[in-house]
């Protein structure tokens, strides 16, 4: 947590430990330098040397001067430690003289600023008033704060193991006299010999600190990692007890540098900026001290700020709220008070909402602003995610697995877990939800209290469910709370609860039911279970158009719609079940009940799903059956199939089933009744007319019922008598009802159109209608004069969505007979979609492919008259047939394009260069003049219209992919065409290029902006060839791009160079070696894209030995320095490539690299900065996959490893059965695992328990090995 936006991030565990009185602050010289302005080491040394009159030729004086010079020259402080200097002074001066000089130098000025010391005293003061502070400073500034604290100093120190004995200030290295004329007691610990006695030989300081660390959390303030007290203390403790726990140090600098300084000492660094005299540190400590002095006020301030909402405060302030709700006590404070923080804080507490994909909300035709939720909900402790391109709708953003989440168990939550928090094999907790841990349960209570806010419902809609106890709390608030809660909010919560209640696994239950039927046959229990499995249910999801942030507090129509999206889900059966005739009626009954439930659910959420039910009678022209096999339509069609089966075997039962269907429903059961009325056993001919008349106007005129209705009318019309026909015709002529608010003129047109469509279709289907129908039809036609019979012919077509690929019809026969002057006009008129929306007409494309001469003649005819139709030239030039054109036609096309005006050629530059790239593959000598002309022409167009030279690859906000952009750009295609020029073939080494050819290359290199870079990519792709044929030209025109000031030019050049993944010849390699090494450490986009190739290229250079000099192309020192500089990914790629080459089946490669792998590991840097978890994991995996070389490789890898704190380690080789590494070399396997497995056993690789067991079985002696015992204990304690 940060107290200030630019302050250090203080771990929650440390903050809580201080609140609990479990922290001891160790204060170094930096505390007295901060505001009291006492001297630093160099200032102290100069004052002591002056006071003692040290000779300038003495060793101590020279050492101080050298330390200052090193600090000034390389910026490394602490290279020469203070104890070494004072040890040299002891040779020439007495201890009392040295101590007097030191005390005198540290004497503070009158009225010096003691605020830094007061801050630390406040922080070191527990709730009970005890002060827990240790200092290695000699000054008395803590005493001068006037608190009358108890003072401890050697030889009498407090016993940390005694209750409450540590209370006061411990001057661990001694204290100056009140007059600063010397040291009190046993004197100062200054020199190497004195440090040795305190921490090594006598060891009293080491014992004191070890006992403190066993009981308290320690924080170092005002030290550097190389200060003598830190050095002696921590090194002694590490040798004695191994890794330190619960130890922190404030360290100036960036995170990586600060962590590296303290990591090897076992201390967790807390980095901060040293700017403005370490202001970030001291202002943060001051704010922490304010919290220490009055925790209640601090909590109240944070919670009060949170009431304005997360978007109104800064990320570090949101981090403070996150800290508050990370403890049970904090959550209780958070939930208290009359005015609670708003529900929008859920978006901060839930990492999946903080890291949600950015987007915009949309409603009623409006699109809201583009919002990145991380910008308004992110925490200061979060790693900022990569910004996404708003236009990239397929981009994804994942929440980091280690990001803070209020709803996940933290370390404090796990400590008090009891039986009631865990599921049980039997008893009460075997079939009841275990209780939530207190903190999360309290968060649930807060959620219930803010459940009336739209943001709470919106957030809940993003969850698959909530704990039952939280649902009960919310339900209580909805039903019994006296406060007003909006009806839409209450309904939304109830819908969510109902949706969450459905927890069945359909696939599991469906196949289990099938197995029961197969084993035991059908029964009443099976039918009940079938109904349950196929039962529809409500689902609740976030509203698709709602955007990544919740709606505001006010619940208007727009916000109400954004709360959640309700739907009815229908189980999808991909296999049919054959129902025996005996059980058909019973199955129909339960399926009817499911349809009745579906009707109720659909109506409950608005009824939108009832409006587009697929026709029961399938259309013959449907392209697929998706709509008929999904959702409500599938359930209805499944029902009709069973009804037809029942009707065949038991008509009486079928009729009884039909009569049981609701008659007041115009949707599901109206459709079923219309369809079933087509069966004479269900509805007789005499009753058919009455049945149709009984249908409501809504059901009869429903456009989705229309197909099934018309098909049934046509099927039964021929056997109907006059009376039923009359009733049906009366129903037809009556027409649909007028809609509310519909204008009468619009209603008359709609009514006439609907009646005419049905009359026309019935007549066309062979139904003989009465004369009165014909008379009425004539009258209706007068109302809609634009109606025609074709519309009526489509009345029974299915209204289901139709999908499929759009097919292009390139029939050109009409154009072949059209006069040349009319070809382009006629082709354009005939282009576009046909009556079938899945067919696109494009006759000119067909003409360009089959009759290219005529197509070209039409284009030439238009060009002579000043007409340059872009669409026609595009179709002509992009036709696949152009690849088969004879050279003569290609030359004519080039000549015609060359005569084109530049401004007319620019819009078709892309298809022209596409054509040129393909046509240039067949260049003959007589075509070269035309080729040169078109190249010059296109280059001029690119210069004059640079915007037309952009690549067809849209970069958006992504980093450039110069290779892909180049091969899809006009300049890139021109450059590719240049390499098809026969004049550059069969050139010898250093012969040089033809002048005409080089002119084109230089013209491309002179193009503006990205067009130039696209050409650079293609040219550098062939850099080996260029350097071999014309090294001078290559040096002058190409290689400068690799080291120029233009970053994009440099990046494009490297992209082209690395694109081929070919290591250059020896001469060029040595010429580019420095550039390649610099690129490996340079974060150019091409470096990130081609990291594998660069790693392989550098590794190849290191592995290649010059036969003349005997030296490597890349020396061991250069390789080690590079591996130390580059990132983890590059180091991992280097290891992967070396392993790959050493494992290759190719005998030469294997023999060459098998031995060099060991040499590479000897060159590998041993610095701590290179021992990252990721690199350590890769080294470990390399060892475990080295086969027979495992003992050798393991011995080389072991010194390079560090503990792997995260899930980086994957050990597939260890899980193989049979004669594997662990069985053959158990001791070496144990050594590696002991070195890399972290303290947290939860992060260990999969199946590690079996591997540890396997080690013990492979070598029984190892069962008593401390390393194996330690690993087993950690695993068992996880």
Q: Is the pLDDT of residue 512 over 90?
A: no
Does 455 fall in a domain?
no
**Contact (CB, 8 A) for 211 and 241:** no
What is the average per-residue pLDDT within 836-852?
84
Q: Over the chain, what is the mean pLDDT?
A: 87
> Looking at 276, 293, 310, which one is the last position of a domain?
293
Does 212 fall in a domain?
yes
Instruction: Return the closest-CA partner of residue 1007 out of 964, 978, 1028, 983.
Output: 978
Range with lowest mean pLDDT among 209-223, 427-441, 550-564, 847-861: 550-564
Measure the CA–CA gap between 1085 and 1088, rounded to whole angstroms.
5
What is the average per-residue pLDDT within 284-308?
95
Q: How does pLDDT run across 693-725, given as a tens digit for each residue?
A: 999 999 999 999 999 999 999 999 999 998 999
User: CB-based contacts of 293: which residues, under 8 Å, 6+ apart?
Assistant: 122
Same domain, 595 and 675: yes
Same domain, 703 and 822: no
What is the average per-residue pLDDT within 432-443?
90
Same domain, 846 and 931: yes
Task: Give the pLDDT confidence score for residue 411 in this predicted structure.
Answer: 86
- 1097 or 416: whose pLDDT is higher? 1097
Same domain, 284 and 300: no
Range with lowest mean pLDDT among 571-585, 867-881, 1195-1209: 1195-1209
Task: Give the pLDDT confidence score for residue 1213 in this predicted structure.
Answer: 58
**Contact (CB, 8 A) for 321 and 302:** yes
Measure the CA–CA gap between 377 and 354, rounded to whole angstroms.
5
Does 1192 fall in a domain?
no
Measure the CA–CA gap between 1003 and 1010, rounded to whole angstroms.
14
Read off the pTM.
0.73
- 1049 or 1206: whose pLDDT is higher? 1049
Q: How does pLDDT run across 487-502, given as a tens digit for each residue?
A: 889 989 999 999 998 8
Pairing of strands 537-541, 268-272: unpaired
Task: Give the pLDDT confidence score for residue 544 in this predicted structure.
Answer: 63
Quick check: bond before 155 cis, omega within 30?
A: yes
**Contact (CB, 8 A) for 225 and 196:** no
Task: Give the pLDDT confidence score for residue 677 in this predicted structure.
Answer: 95
Same domain, 330 and 360: yes
Q: How far is CA 1236 from CA 402, 1197, 1212, 1232, 1233, in A?
A: 20, 11, 16, 6, 5
Q: How does pLDDT run across 250-280, given as a tens digit for each residue?
A: 999 888 788 878 877 788 999 999 999 999 9
pLDDT band at residue 1209 under the 50/70/90 scheme: low
Measure the CA–CA gap between 262 and 1068, rounded to whole angstroms.
44
Task: Give the pLDDT confidence score for residue 626 in this predicted structure.
Answer: 63
> Looking at 232, 258, 293, which one is the last position of a domain?
293
Number of domains the chain is built from: 8
Q: What dihedral angle (degrees, nearest 10) is formed by the CA atoms of 858, 864, 866, 872?
A: 20
Task: Give the pLDDT confidence score for residue 624 in this predicted structure.
Answer: 47
Same domain, 154 and 264: yes
> Looking at 432, 450, 468, which one is the last position of a domain?
450
In three-state secondary structure terms, 125 is strand
Range with lowest mean pLDDT among 313-327, 650-664, 800-814: 800-814
What is the average per-residue pLDDT within 1260-1264?
92
Task: Give the pLDDT confidence score for residue 1215 in this predicted structure.
Answer: 54
Q: Is the pLDDT of residue 179 over 70?
A: yes
Q: Is the pLDDT of residue 415 over 70?
A: yes
Task: Give the pLDDT confidence score for residue 244 in this predicted structure.
Answer: 63
Does 470 fall in a domain?
no
Same domain, 76 and 177: no
What is the average per-residue pLDDT within 768-794?
91
Same domain, 132 and 162: yes
Task: Give the pLDDT confidence score for residue 420 in this predicted structure.
Answer: 81
pLDDT band at residue 1004 under the 50/70/90 scheme: very high
pLDDT band at residue 1151 under the 50/70/90 scheme: low
Same domain, 134 and 82: no
Does 569 fall in a domain?
no
Greatest Cα-to-Cα distance within the chain, rounded to the nearest angstrom: 136
Task: Give the pLDDT confidence score for residue 830 in this predicted structure.
Answer: 86
Measure the CA–CA gap between 887 and 439, rounded to whole angstroms.
81
Does 571 fall in a domain?
no
Same domain, 59 and 142: no
**Contact (CB, 8 A) for 214 and 240:** no
Task: Give the pLDDT confidence score for residue 174 in this predicted structure.
Answer: 93
What is the average per-residue pLDDT within 395-406?
90
Task: Give the pLDDT confidence score for residue 836 in this predicted structure.
Answer: 58
**Contact (CB, 8 A) for 514 and 479:** no
Element (H, E) at 252: strand 247-252
Does 465 fall in a domain?
no
Q: How does pLDDT run across 1056-1075, given as a tens digit for each residue?
A: 998 888 888 888 988 999 99
What is the average per-residue pLDDT within 940-968?
84
Sign of the dihedral defined by the CA atoms of residues 133, 137, 140, 144, in that order: negative
- 469 or 544: whose pLDDT is higher? 469
pLDDT band at residue 621 under the 50/70/90 scheme: low
What is the average per-residue pLDDT within 105-112?
92
Q: How does pLDDT run across 27-82, given as a tens digit for each residue?
A: 999 999 999 999 877 778 888 888 888 888 888 788 878 777 776 766 555 556 67
User: CB-based contacts of 106: which residues, under 8 Å, 6+ apart?
Assistant: 32, 38, 39, 44, 138, 139, 176, 180
Sheet with 807-809: strands ordered across: 807-809, 839-841, 832-833
In three-state secondary structure terms, 742 is coil
Share of the chain above pLDDT 70, in %: 92
Q: How does pLDDT run across 922-935, given as a tens digit for each residue?
A: 877 788 888 989 99
Same domain, 1243 and 1114: no
pLDDT band at residue 521 under the 50/70/90 scheme: very high
- Supply the range of the domain harboring residue 71: 39-105
The CATH number of residue 139's host domain is 3.40.50.1220
Q: Is the pLDDT of residue 807 over 90?
A: no
Share of the chain above pLDDT 90, in %: 49
Q: Is the pLDDT of residue 1158 over 70?
A: yes
Sign of the dihedral defined by the CA atoms of residues 1075, 1080, 1081, 1085, in that order: positive
Does 746 fall in a domain?
no
Task: Give the pLDDT confidence score for residue 364 in this predicted structure.
Answer: 46
- 447 or 1082: whose pLDDT is higher? 447
Q: Is the pLDDT of residue 26 over 80?
A: yes
Same domain, 273 and 402: no
What is the average per-residue pLDDT within 239-244?
55
């Amino acid at each position: 947590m940060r107290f200030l936006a630019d302050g250090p991030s203080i771990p929650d565990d440390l903050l809580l430990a201080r609140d609990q009185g479990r922290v001891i602050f160790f204060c170094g010289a930096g505390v007295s330098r901060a505001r009291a302005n006492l001297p630093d080491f160099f200032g102290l040394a100069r004052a002591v040397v002056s006071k003692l009159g040290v000779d300038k030729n003495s060793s101590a004086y020279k050492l101080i001067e050298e330390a200052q010079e090193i600090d000034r020259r390389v910026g490394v402080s602490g290279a020469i430690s203070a104890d070494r200097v004072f040890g040299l002074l002891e040779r020439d001066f007495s201890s009392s003289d040295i101590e007097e000089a030191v005390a005198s130098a540290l004497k503070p000025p009158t009225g010096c600023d003691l605020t830094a010391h007061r801050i630390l005293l406040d922080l070191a003061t527990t709730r009970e008033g005890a002060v827990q502070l240790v200092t290695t400073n000699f000054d008395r500034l803590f005493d001068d704060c006037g608190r009358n604290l108890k003072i401890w100093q050697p030889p009498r120190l407090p016993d940390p193991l005694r209750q409450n004995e540590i209370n006061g200030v411990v001057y661990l290295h001694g204290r100056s006299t009140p007059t600063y004329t010397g040291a009190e007691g046993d004197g100062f610990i200054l020199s190497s010999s004195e440090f040795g006695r305190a921490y090594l030989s006598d060891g009293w300081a080491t014992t004191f600190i070890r006992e403190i660390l066993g009981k308290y959390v320690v924080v170092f303030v005002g030290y550097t990692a190389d200060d003598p007290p830190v050095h002696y203390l921590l090194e002694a403790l590490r040798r004695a007890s191994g890794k330190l726990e619960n130890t922190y140090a404030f360290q100036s600098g960036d995170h990586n540098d600060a962590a590296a300084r303290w990591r090897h000492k076992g201390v967790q660094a807390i980095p901060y900026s040293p700017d403005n005299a370490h202001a970030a540190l001291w202002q943060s400590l001051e704010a922490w001290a304010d919290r220490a002095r009055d925790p209640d006020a601090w909590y109240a301030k944070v919670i009060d700020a949170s009431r304005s909402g997360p978007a109104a405060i800064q990320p570090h302030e949101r981090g403070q709220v996150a800290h508050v709700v990370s403890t049970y006590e904090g959550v209780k404070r958070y939930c208290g008070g009359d005015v609670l923080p708003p529900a929008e804080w859920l978006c901060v507490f839930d990492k999946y909402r903080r890291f949600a994909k950015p987007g915009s909300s949309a409603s009623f035709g409006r699109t809201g602003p583009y919002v990145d939720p991380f910008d308004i909900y992110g925490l200061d402790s979060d790693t900022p995610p990569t910004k996404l391109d708003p236009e990239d709708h397929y981009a994804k953003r994942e929440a980091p697995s280690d990001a803070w989440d209020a709803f996940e168990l933290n370390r404090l939550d796990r400590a008090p877990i009891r039986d009631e928090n865990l599921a049980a094999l039997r008893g009460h907790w075997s079939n009841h939800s275990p209780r939530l841990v207190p903190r999360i349960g309290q968060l649930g209570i807060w959620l219930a209290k803010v459940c009336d806010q739209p943001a709470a419902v919106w957030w809940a809609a993003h969850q698959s469910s909530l704990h039952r106890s939280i649902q009960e709390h919310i339900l209580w608030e909805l039903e019994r709370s006296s406060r007003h809660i909006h009806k839409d909010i209450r309904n939304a919560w109830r819908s969510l609860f109902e949706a969450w209640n459905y927890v069945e696994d359909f696939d599991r239950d469906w196949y289990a039911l099938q197995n029961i039927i197969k084993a035991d046959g059908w029964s009443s229990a099976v039918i009940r279970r079938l109904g349950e499995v196929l039962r529809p249910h409500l689902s609740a999801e976030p509203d698709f158009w709602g955007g990544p942030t919740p709606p505001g507090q006010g619940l208007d129509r727009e916000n109400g719609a954004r709360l959640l999206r309700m739907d009815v889900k229908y189980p999808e059966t991909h296999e049919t079940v054959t129902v025996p005739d005996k059980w058909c009626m019973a199955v129909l009954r339960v399926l009817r009940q499911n349809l009745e439930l579906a009707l109720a659910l659909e109506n409950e959420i608005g009824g939108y799903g009832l409006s587009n039910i697929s026709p029961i009678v399938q259309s013959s022209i449907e392209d697929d059956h998706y709509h008929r096999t999904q959702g409500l339509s599938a359930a209805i069609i499944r029902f009709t199939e069973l009804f037809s089966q029942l009707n065949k075997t038991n008509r009486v039962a079928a009729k009884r089933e039909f009569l049981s269907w609701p008659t007041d429903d115009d949707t599901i059961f109206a459709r079923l009744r219309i369809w079933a009325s087509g069966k004479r056993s269900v509805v007789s001919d005499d009753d058919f007319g009455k049945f149709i008349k009984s249908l409501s106007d809504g059901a009869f005129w429903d456009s989705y019922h229309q197909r099934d209705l018309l098909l049934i009318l046509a099927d039964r019309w021929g056997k109907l008598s006059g009376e039923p026909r009359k009733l049906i015709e009366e129903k037809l002529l009556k027409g649909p009802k007028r809609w509310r608010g519909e204008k009468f003129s619009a209603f008359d047109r709609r009514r006439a159109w609907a009646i005419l469509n049905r009359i026309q279709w019935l007549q066309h289907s062979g139904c003989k209608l009465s004369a009165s129908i014909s008379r009425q039809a004539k009258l209706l036609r007068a109302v809609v004069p634009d109606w025609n019979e074709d519309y009526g012919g489509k009345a029974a077509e299915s209204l289901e969505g139709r999908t499929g690929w759009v097919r292009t019809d390139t029939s050109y026969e009409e154009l072949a007979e059209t006069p040349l002057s009319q070809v382009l006009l006629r082709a354009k008129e005939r282009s576009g979609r046909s009556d079938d929306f899945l067919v696109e007409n494009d006759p000119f494309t067909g003409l360009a492919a089959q009759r290219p001469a005529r197509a070209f003649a039409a284009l030439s005819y238009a060009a002579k008259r000043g007409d340059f139709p872009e669409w026609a030239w595009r179709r002509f030039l992009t036709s696949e047939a152009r690849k088969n054109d004879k050279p003569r036609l290609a030359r004519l096309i080039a000549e015609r394009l060359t005569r084109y005006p530049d401004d007319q050629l620019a819009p078709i530059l892309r298809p022209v260069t596409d054509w040129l790239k393909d046509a240039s593959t067949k260049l003959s000598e007589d075509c070269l003049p035309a080729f040169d002309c078109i190249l010059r022409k296109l280059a001029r167009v690119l210069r004059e219209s640079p915007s037309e030279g952009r690549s067809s690859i849209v970069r958006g906000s992504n980093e450039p992919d110069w290779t892909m952009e180049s091969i899809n750009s006009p300049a890139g295609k021109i450059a590719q065409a240049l390499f098809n020029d026969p004049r550059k073939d069969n050139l010898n080494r250093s012969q040089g290029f033809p002048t005409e050819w080089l002119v084109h290359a230089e013209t491309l290199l002179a193009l503006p902006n990205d067009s130039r870079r696209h050409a650079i990519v293609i040219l550098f792709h062939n850099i080996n060839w260029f350097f071999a044929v014309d090294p001078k030209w290559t040096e002058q025109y190409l290689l400068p791009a690799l080291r120029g000031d233009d970053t994009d030019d440099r990046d494009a050049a490297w992209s082209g160079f690395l694109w081929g993944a070919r290591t250059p010849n020896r001469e060029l390699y040595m010429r580019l070696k420095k550039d390649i090494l610099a690129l490996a450490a340079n974060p150019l986009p091409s470096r990130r894209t081609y990291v594998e190739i660069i790693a392989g290229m550098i590794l190849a250079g290191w592995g290649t030995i010059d036969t003349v000099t005997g030296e490597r192309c890349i020396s061991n020192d250069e390789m080690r320095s590079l591996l130390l500089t580059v990132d983890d990914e590059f180091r991992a790629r280097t290891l992967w490539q070396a392993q790959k080459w050493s494992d290759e089946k190719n005998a030469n490669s294997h023999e060459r690299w098998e031995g060099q792998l060991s040499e590479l590991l000897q060159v590998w840097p041993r610095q701590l900065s290179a021992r990252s978890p990721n690199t350590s994991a890769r080294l470990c995996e390399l060892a475990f996959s080295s086969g027979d070389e495992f003992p050798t490789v393991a011995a080389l890898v072991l010194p390079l490893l560090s503990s792997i704190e995260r899930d980086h380690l994957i050990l597939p080789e260890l899980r193989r059965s049979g004669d594997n590494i662990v069985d053959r070399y158990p001791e070496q396997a144990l050594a590696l695992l002991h070195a890399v497995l972290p303290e947290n056993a939860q992060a260990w690789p999969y199946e590690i328990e079996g591997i540890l067991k396997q080690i013990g079985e492979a070598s029984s002696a190892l069962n008593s090995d401390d390393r194996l015992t330690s690993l087993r204990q950690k695993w068992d304690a996880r």
